[in-house]
Structure 1
Amino acid sequence: MATSVEIPERTIAVGFQGEAGAYSQRAVKRLFTQATSVPFHSVHRVFEAVEIGTVAFGVVPLENSHAGSINETYDLLVRHGVSIVGETIVRISHCLLALPGTPLDEVRTVYSHTQALDQCSEFLDSLPVERIAVHDTAGAARILAERKESGAAAIASTEAAQLYELEVLASDIEDRADNSTKFVAIARGGSDLFGPPEKTSVVFATADMPGALYRCLKEFADRHLNLSKLEHRPSRAKAWQSNFYVDFDAPVHDPAAQEALQAVAELTSFLRVLGSYPRAR
């Protein structure tokens, strides 16, 4: 359920997972110059809100440069009637936050989202701390501030530190300096808000025949369509069947893309275009 937010007239309502100060909210600000950010407890709730029209857009995490794909988001793209309409890449710079005056050597507990804990594993390994996963990085900061828990810290953003009046004990604690997350904007229909499409995301399940995946991929290669992503996830429709997710570098209305998709449709039991949209800048 969303936090109650008053949305001014002529302002776009954009849902995101997390609380104020979350990295997802930073992605909203990168994608939308004027928008009211509406927080939701889970990515699933963001999809539901977009689908029923509670918000015009949603912004959800899709892939991290260190931890890989966000599997939940890929599954939800298949289950809900929404499309990807834009993307952005957000640099994720984690900070260790604590109550003002807390020495680093007294920290024994660290709260954060499970992905953030994983992305900072090398730093955390150097400390004698227990790691506790919560629903959101900014939520971890809020919990710490509300409980006023001594000997505890949270991994979150600098925005969360300022918002919840916490002290930054250490900055840039992520394992990799190039730690980034790709976020996508979703909507019920297409949108030209972000410019003309340059890439297309599709999902399909191959027919049960030898070489089916090879034949599908060959249709793209034969038309010189570059694939920038290929991975599979278990299908919810049938046990031991996989859905294949493919990104290719062309708009869906490109003649070569249309030919390839028509050919792939004949080789698959399920095919859906998840969106055609501009590349992240």
Structure 2
Amino acid sequence: IIAEHFMSIRHCLMAKSADAVIKTAMSHPQALGQCRHFLRANGIIPVAYADTAAAAAFVAANDDPSAAAIAPPIAAALYGLVAINDAVQDDMSNMTRFVVLSRAPVDRSTLTGTLMTTLIFEVKNIPAALYKAMGGFATNGVNMTKLESYQNGASFAATEFFADIEGAPGDPAVDRALEELRFHCNSVRLLGTYTQTRNRG
């Protein structure tokens, strides 16, 4: 990971005609979930589809005037649909974070501002392993802004964690925290260091 980008999410209800009586709305399940209050309030039946753009293309290619799609506003122009409502998401502050990947890491000397580091680690399968692994970040004052857990396979024998921290290897506090983390883990993998583009506070 060499960079991050935050994008505001805007869902648009689009159909073949502006005066259509909409009965169904097709979209990716996640987009439908982000618009569920709007759909319920308007009596529109959600229909899951592979992705938002494909849903718009499907509505454009078919003759059902009561069918609509929920997709980014640009999809209406791309597929010749009419934007009926260009902000149907339930949470107007919804954002998606994207990361930029590269085969080569970024040169840390070129980075400015607050730095972020993303890592994956697998704790040992012993009592209080996660508590002990997190202790190094707390005692060294390293702010962890994200922590997600994943089961490794179907064995339930080990849990992996995906984490974002403020700081970078080479910072004494981060180095001490990572050293303590490695002591309590089976594995630690750094995925990248990059400039923070949005304050986590």
Same fold (TM over 0.5): yes
**Any gaps of 5 or more consecutive residues in structure 2?**
none
Match of 2:156 in 1: 239
- The letter for the 2-side match of 1:241 is A
TM-score by length of 1: 0.65
Aligned mate of 1:266, from 177, 183, 186: 183
Q: Find the aligned partners of 1:223 and 1:275 in 2 and give their Cα distance.
A: 20
Query: How far did residue 168 of structure 1 move?
Result: 1.0
2:125–2:158 contact (8 Å) kept in structure 1: no
> Does 2:79 align with 1:159?
no
Match of 1:128 in 2: 43
> Does 2:193 align with 1:256?
no
Moved more, 252-261 or 211-220: 252-261
- The list of structure 1 runs, each at least 4 consecutive aligned residues, that deviate by more than 6 angstroms after superposition, is none
TM-score by length of 2: 0.89
Query: How far did residue 162 of structure 1 move?
Result: 1.3
Q: Find the aligned partners of 2:45 and 2:192 in 1 and give their Cα distance.
A: 41
- The letter for the 1-side match of 2:111 is P
1:73-92: CA deviation from partner (whole Å, max 9, x where unpaired): xxxxxxxxxxx221111111
Match of 2:22 in 1: 107
1:206–1:269 contact (8 Å) kept in structure 2: yes
1:199–1:252 contact (8 Å) kept in structure 2: no
**Any gaps of 5 or more consecutive residues in structure 1?**
1-83
1:123-173: CA deviation from partner (whole Å, max 9, x where unpaired): 000233321111211121111112243210000111111111211111211
Aligned residues: 195
> Does 2:118 align with 1:213?
no
- The letter for the 2-side match of 1:232 is S
Query: How far did residue 240 of structure 1 move?
Result: 4.4
Q: Find the aligned partners of 1:184 and 1:280 in 2 and give their Cα distance.
A: 11
Q: Find the aligned partners of 1:235 and 1:251 in 2 and give their Cα distance.
A: 26
SS at match of 2:101: strand
Q: Find the aligned partners of 1:215 and 1:101 in 2 and give their Cα distance.
A: 59
> How do residues 1-281 of structure 1 correspond to structure 2 at under 5 angstroms?
84-103=1-20, 106-191=21-106, 196=111, 198-236=115-153, 238-281=155-198
Structure number with greater Rg is 2
1:102–1:151 contact (8 Å) kept in structure 2: no
Q: Find the aligned partners of 2:61 and 2:24 in 1 and give their Cα distance.
A: 16
